[in-house]
Structure 1
Amino acid sequence: MRTTVQDVMTTDVATVNQNASFHQVAELLISRGISGVPVLDDHDHVVGVVSEADLLAKEEFKQRYYGDDYRPPLRARIRHMAGSEGKGYDKATGETAGALMTSPAHVTAADVPVVQAARLMDRHGVKRLPVIDTDGRLVGIVSRRDLLRVFLRLDKDIERQILADIPPDRTWTAPQGLGVTVADGVVTLSGVTGRHSEAIAIVRMAENIDGVVAVHDELTWRYDDVVEIPAWGGA
């Protein structure tokens, strides 16, 4: 069985209401030692995420425009507000979590495989994903660190699962005839299968097991039933 977000997520989630002040958000991040939190509306729906970067953007803005008693000309401020950075200006001048947050939030569901959640984080460049139920309410949060725990399985547990996952009703080599060694998550498969296709299936099955870092294929077979289609070419 594949590990899902529910298996690794944290359910004790630090959150802020969208009306929370800048200082409330900052104090929560510092006291909990975290870099970001989900922002909820009054019905516990996730409406965004506010992070250290969002708070620092405001502080940088304040120093740029108000530090050392400096204030740009009115024309420059109007131009900044109306230009391509207008959205950044609105966030930087925001006073509540709702104004400072990044929205909409990238979220996931509890039954999503951890691999899918990891790809979502990578695609959007985020460090955490709020986990929501079918109504959009927060049920947990999953971080990059949580996902990495999947790769900390014991080697013997991975080996045991590989052998157990070979369906007994298939014509593959009996599990006791299959050589499986695992070292630091790297699996080496050896032995003889009846067919080439069976060897391919075993390798793919092993690659999809949680905790497997890589698979070294040393399998051989008695009958090659994999037909390679030649490249198309004219006469």
Structure 2
Amino acid sequence: MDIRSVMTPDPASCQAATPVREVARLMLENDCGLVPVIDAAGRPVGTVTDRDVALRVVAEGRDPQQCTAQDCMTSPVTTLGVDSSLADAIQLMENEQIRRLLVVDADGRLCGVVAQADIALSGRDRKTAELVRGVSEPKH
């Protein structure tokens, strides 16, 4: 099974200068908790999650009207090539202990997102259990 079969293609994305309020609006409109941050060429440079907004903006008392995606994004990002297998995605997520991966084309441009939940919904119970365990184990 390849990554295309489980990824969300063409995810909503933003630029580093996008206001945080607009990033949150993208999350609301697209029913997602992560918005990739891309450069002018479409290559991912970071991600903003709902948790990033809550912790790096709201909890720190920063003005959401003044903050941009760059102010609260996580960078660098972990990416996976669009021609990769589901097993490759699971292994990378376990190794990096992350719940989401950005999928890029041969030129490094964003073309999808794969989340732990996408893998769970693919119906691979054993693989899902392995992923959840691998992502959740404390790093040594």
* Range of TM-score over shorter length: 0.7 to 0.9
Question: How many Å apart are 1:125 and its aligned residue?
Answer: 3.0
Pairing of 1:164-183 with structure 2 (within 5 A): none
Structure 1 runs of 4+ off > 4 angstroms? none
Please give the alpha-carbon distance, in whole angstroms, between the structure 2 residues aligned to 1:134 and 1:144: 23
- The answer on 1:149 being equivalent to 2:121 is yes
Question: How many Å apart are 1:46 and its aligned residue?
Answer: 0.6
**Corresponding residue to 1:45 among 28, 43, 48:** 43
Q: What SS does structure 2 have at the residue aligned with 1:15?
A: coil
Q: Could you list the per-position Cα deviations for residues 114-142 of structure 1 after superposition, in whole angstroms to 9, with x for gaps in the alignment?
A: 12212222333322111001221011111
**Corresponding residue to 1:96 among 58, 68, 81:** 68
Give the aligned length.
127
Q: What SS does structure 2 have at the residue aligned with 1:16?
A: coil
Please give the alpha-carbon distance, in whole angstroms, between the structure 1 residues aligned to 2:4 and 2:101: 12
- The answer on 1:135 being equivalent to 2:133 is no
TM-score normalized by the length of structure 1? 0.48
**Corresponding residue to 2:80 among 95, 108, 118:** 108
Please give the alpha-carbon distance, in whole angstroms, between the structure 2 residues aligned to 1:45 and 1:16: 11
Return the letter of the residue paired with 2:30.
Answer: R
**1:59 maps to which residue?**
58
Return the letter of the residue paired with 2:100.
Answer: R
Q: Could you list the per-position Cα deviations for residues 164-185 of structure 1 after superposition, in whole angstroms to 9, with x for gaps in the alignment?
A: xxxxxxxxxxxxxxxxxxxxx7
Q: What SS does structure 2 have at the residue aligned with 1:17?
A: coil
Task: Between the two structures, name the one with larger relative contact order (CA 8 Å, sep ≥ 6).
Answer: 2
Return the letter of the residue paired with 1:59.
Answer: V
Q: Could you list the per-position Cα deviations for residues 197-231 of structure 1 after superposition, in whole angstroms to 9, with x for gaps in the alignment?
A: xxxxxxxxxxxxx89x9xxxxxxxxxxxxxxxxxx
- The answer on 1:14 being equivalent to 2:12 is yes
Q: Could you list the per-position Cα deviations for residues 25-80 of structure 1 after superposition, in whole angstroms to 9, with x for gaps in the alignment?
A: 111112222111110111111101111111011110108xx9xxxxxxxxxxxxxx
Please say which structure displays the higher CA radius of gyration.
Answer: 1
TM-score normalized by the length of structure 2? 0.78
**1:121 maps to which residue?**
93
Q: Which blocks of at least 5 consecutive residues in structure 1 are unaligned?
A: 67-91, 153-184, 187-209, 214-235
Return the letter of the residue paired with 2:107.
Answer: D
Q: Which blocks of at least 5 consecutive residues in structure 2 are unaligned?
A: 131-140
Tell me if structure 1 keeps the 8 A contact 2:3–2:86. yes
- The answer on 1:27 being equivalent to 2:4 is no
| Percent of aligned pairs with the same amino acid | 29
Question: How many Å apart are 1:151 and its aligned residue?
Answer: 2.6
